[in-house]
Amino acid sequence: MAIRKLNAALGIPEKFQDLGIPPEQFEAKVDYLADRAFEDQCTTANPKMPLVTELADIYRNAYYGKF
């Protein structure tokens, strides 16, 4: 909750959609973003190795503001 309050005070949007990225443009790129995140060397340092589909879900949740 404190992070959300700080973000609001600083004018940082709660979701990617608020940055003005059209849904069609986001959806056209989300699989590419998930693939790149999966291939990133930092991903293997996570306690649980995510599936590409799970990474796409994380991006969608961030875009649409589903927490």
pLDDT confidence of residue 21? 95
Cβ distance 63 to 15 under 8 Å? Answer: yes
What average pLDDT score do residues 24-36 get?
A: 98
Element (H, E) at 11: none
Any idea what DSSP says for residue 48? Answer: S
CA dist 64 → 3, 18, 32, 37, 58 (Å): 18, 9, 18, 19, 10
Q: Which two tokens stand for residue 21?
A: 């990225």
Is the pLDDT at 58 greater than 90? The verdict is yes
